[in-house]
Structure 1
C-alpha cells in the first residue's frame, strides 16, 4: 500500500451509498466532506447512485468537485432510496479508477458501492479510509419481514461490515459509543471515533439580522420521517402538553411515515399546531433552527445526529432520547434533558417544564448548547481526515 506524498494536493475518491439530493446524515456528511476537501485544494471525486433511472454519468461542481453517478434502481419500500447492482457497477468502478488514479479512497458504507470501491482500491494498493454511518435499525422500515428475520439480517449486516471494513487502513465512526457497537457486533477492534464535524457559525444569526420568532412556543424536529426516528412519540407528547401553553411543533423532512404522522396529528386534533414543512433549503432550515424554542430528537438509532448539532449551533436547548449517541449531546439541566425513548408522557412533561422557564433561563440553556458544539468543528474533522489520507493512524485515539 502506497502512502500519498506529504503536502501535495491529493486526488480523493469518496464512495457514498447515499448522497445529495437524498436527505439524511450520511448524505450530508459526504457532501460536506467533498466540499471541505475541495476548499482545501484537493482534487475530489464522489461516486454515488444516480437519483433516477438511466445510465451512469458524470457532472462537475465548483464547490464539491466531480460527482460520478452510477446506474441505480429504486426500491418499492422507500420513496427515494436507490441501490446499485454489483454486476452493473463493477466495470464502471474499475474504469473510474483507471481514469481518476486516486491517491486515497474514503468509503462511507460497506454496501454495494463502498464494498466494490474498497476491493478495487485494495487490488491497486491504494490507501483506504472507511467511515461507518450504519445501524441495523436504519434498514428495518424497508424490510417487509417479521422482526425475527430482520434481526437475522441485522446480524448478517454487522458481519459484512466487519469483513469489508476490516480491509481498510483506518476505520472511523462519529462517536465512541458507535465504535463500541462496531467492536461488539462487527468485531472491528480498532475504530477511531471522529465527529462528523459542523460549521457552527453557519447557524448563528448574522450581525443586524432579524428573524421573526414563532408566535407560539415551538418545538422543532428535523430529519428523515422514518420508523426509527419515532416522531409519533413527539406528536403524542405535544398533544399532552397543557392547552394554555399552546405548544406548536414544526417538522422538517420527508420520508416513508409522513402520511401516517399527518394522520396522527389530525386524529389528535393538532392540525393547527403541527406543521409539516417538508424538505427545506439550507437557508430555510437555518431560520427554523433559530426560530425554535426547543429542538427534539426522539430517534433511537443516531450515531451522532448532525441535525442536533445544527440546532445546538443555533443556541437551541435540546430534548433527546436517551439512546445510542444522543446522551453525549446533553448535559442534564444545562443545555436540555434526556427522556426515556418511547415515553411520550415524560417527553410532554419535559417540554412543559422547559417552556415554563423564564426566558433568560431558557436562553442560558441555548448558550450552553452552543458552547458544547465547539469540539465538533468541521475544520478539525477535515484536518484529521486529511492527516489520515496522508498516512496518519491516530493509534492513541483508537478505541
Structure 2
C-alpha cells in the first residue's frame, strides 16, 4: 500500500451510474473509489439500486476492493435498456439519510443530475465541501426523451441551468480533459473548471508490439446512437478482409446487427456484448486498430485502454478525442460523419508498413502514460484536502 502522508479521509462518492452499469462515468468512479481505498481512505458510494426498494448499506467487491455501498431505490428510465434513476423529489431525502450515516469529510459527486444534485445541496447546508466531476453532456440524453425538437431544446436549456445551480455549490468542478473543461465553461456560467484525467492503470494492459496478420478493428463502448458505431461498420464493409469486434451493449445493437446483414458483413462482425475485464484486455491486445466515431466523448476511457494496449487509434475529430489522438502520430483523426475519410484512415493504419505500425503503437503507449491513475488519485486527494493545485 502506498505510504499515506496525510490522515485518511472519509469520502462519499455520489454516482448516478455505477457498477454493474458500464459507461465511462461508472468505470471512472469504480477505479477512483478502489484506488482511494488502497490508499487507506474510507470510501462510501451512493448509487441507484437495481429496483425500487430499500436496502441496508453493504460491502460490494468492486475493482478488487470492498466498497461501502448505499444503494438507493430507483426506477428504470423509460425507453432505455439499463439506465436507472432516483425520483428527483426524493434525492435530498436520501442524501440526508446517507450523510447522517457516513458523516464524510468530503462529498464528490459524479454528475449534477439526481443523486449528485441532492447530495450537493444537503452537504453544502451542513458545511461539508463538495467536489463535482462532470462526465455528461445534456445533449446525450435526447435520444431517450421522446420529446419533439422544441421540447428537447427546452430540456437541454433546463438541464444546463440546473447544472449551473449545482456547480455553484461546490468547492471545485472538474472534468476529464482541457477540451471538456473549455466546453463546460462555454456552455454554462462556470469558470475555473479543472481538467483531471479519469486515469487508467497502465499495468493492467498488455501491448503486443508486432505486425498484425489480420485486419481486426475493435470498438469498446455502449452501442448507442451518439457513439455512431454504424459508421465503423460502413467503413469496415469497404475494406477487404477487415473484421470488427464490438465490445459492449446498448439499445442500438439490434439495428447494428441488421445493418451488418444489409452490408453483407454479418460474418465479419462479432457482437461480444458485455465481457469480463480479462476478456476485454485480451480483445484489445489482439486487435489491429481501435476505431471510434463518437461525437460526444468528454475523454473516452475506452480509447485510453486501447492506447495502453499498444493500439493505433482512428477517431472522430470531435470534443476530447483529439486530446488523445495526435493525427499521424498514434493514429488518425477524421471529420465526424465522413465515412469516406474514416475508411481511408483505417486503411492507412491497416496497410501501414511494419515499421510505421510499430511507431504508432509506441506513440500510443507514450501519449497515454500521462493518464496513469496514480496522478489522478494524487490530484483528487489534494482537492479533497483543499490544497491549491499547481498551475
Verify the 8 A CA contact 2:179 2:323 in the aligned structure 1. no
Verify the 8 A CA contact 1:212 1:291 in the aligned structure 2. no
Once the 2 structures are TM-superposed, how far is the Cα of residue 52 of structure 1 from its aligned partner?
2.9
- State how 1:296-315 maps to structure 2 within 5 Å: 296-315=291-310
CA distance in 2, matches of 1:113, 1:56: 16
Once the 2 structures are TM-superposed, how far is the Cα of residue 214 of structure 1 from its aligned partner?
8.1
Once the 2 structures are TM-superposed, how far is the Cα of residue 46 of structure 1 from its aligned partner?
0.2
Residue of structure 1 aligned with 2:84, choices 79, 82, 85 = 82
Show the counterpart of 1:3: none
Show the counterpart of 1:28: 27
Once the 2 structures are TM-superposed, how far is the Cα of residue 321 of structure 1 from its aligned partner?
0.2
CA distance in 1, matches of 2:47, 2:54: 13
Instruction: Return 252-261 or 78-87, whichever deviates more.
Output: 78-87
Residues 1:220 and 2:218 are matched in the alignment: yes
Once the 2 structures are TM-superposed, how far is the Cα of residue 150 of structure 1 from its aligned partner?
1.6
Residues 1:258 and 2:253 are matched in the alignment: yes
Aligned residues: 384
Deviating runs (4+, > 4 A) in structure 1? Answer: 210-215
CA distance in 2, matches of 1:131, 1:393: 17
Superposed CA offset, 1:288-336 (max 9, x none): 1111100011100000000000000000000000000001111211110
Show the counterpart of 2:230: 232
Residue of structure 2 aligned with 1:198, choices 197, 200, 219 = 200
Verify the 8 A CA contact 1:75 1:81 in the aligned structure 2. yes
CA distance in 2, matches of 1:55, 1:391: 34
Show the counterpart of 2:7: 8
TM, length-normalised to structure 1 = 0.93
Task: Report SS of the residue matched to 1:272.
Answer: helix
RMSD in angstroms over aligned alpha carbons? Answer: 1.8
- State how 1:1-399 maps to structure 2 within 5 Å: 7-61=6-60, 63-204=65-206, 216-241=214-239, 243=240, 246-394=241-389, 397=391
CA distance in 2, matches of 1:13, 1:191: 21
Which structure 2 segments of 5+ residues have no match? none
Once the 2 structures are TM-superposed, how far is the Cα of residue 249 of structure 1 from its aligned partner?
0.5
CA distance in 1, matches of 2:20, 2:212: 29
Task: Report SS of the residue matched to 1:303.
Answer: coil
Verify the 8 A CA contact 2:248 2:272 in the aligned structure 1. yes
Aligned CA distance change for structure 1 residues 219 and 125 (closer, same or farther; 3 Å): same
Verify the 8 A CA contact 1:71 1:89 in the aligned structure 2. no
Instruction: Return 364-373 or 141-150, whichever deviates more.
Output: 141-150
Aligned CA distance change for structure 1 residues 314 and 23 (closer, same or farther; 3 Å): same
Task: Report SS of the residue matched to 1:275.
Answer: strand
Superposed CA offset, 1:368-387 (max 9, x none): 00100111110111011001
Instruction: Return 218-227 or 138-147, whichever deviates more.
Output: 138-147
Once the 2 structures are TM-superposed, how far is the Cα of residue 232 of structure 1 from its aligned partner?
0.6
Superposed CA offset, 1:59-93 (max 9, x none): 20351420110000012211110010133343332
Verify the 8 A CA contact 1:45 1:66 in the aligned structure 2. yes
Task: Report SS of the residue matched to 1:21.
Answer: coil
Verify the 8 A CA contact 1:211 1:287 in the aligned structure 2. no
Verify the 8 A CA contact 1:44 1:64 in the aligned structure 2. no
Task: Report SS of the residue matched to 1:139.
Answer: helix
Larger RCO: Structure 1 or Structure 2 (Cα < 8 Å, ≥ 6 residues apart)? Answer: 1
Once the 2 structures are TM-superposed, how far is the Cα of residue 54 of structure 1 from its aligned partner?
2.4
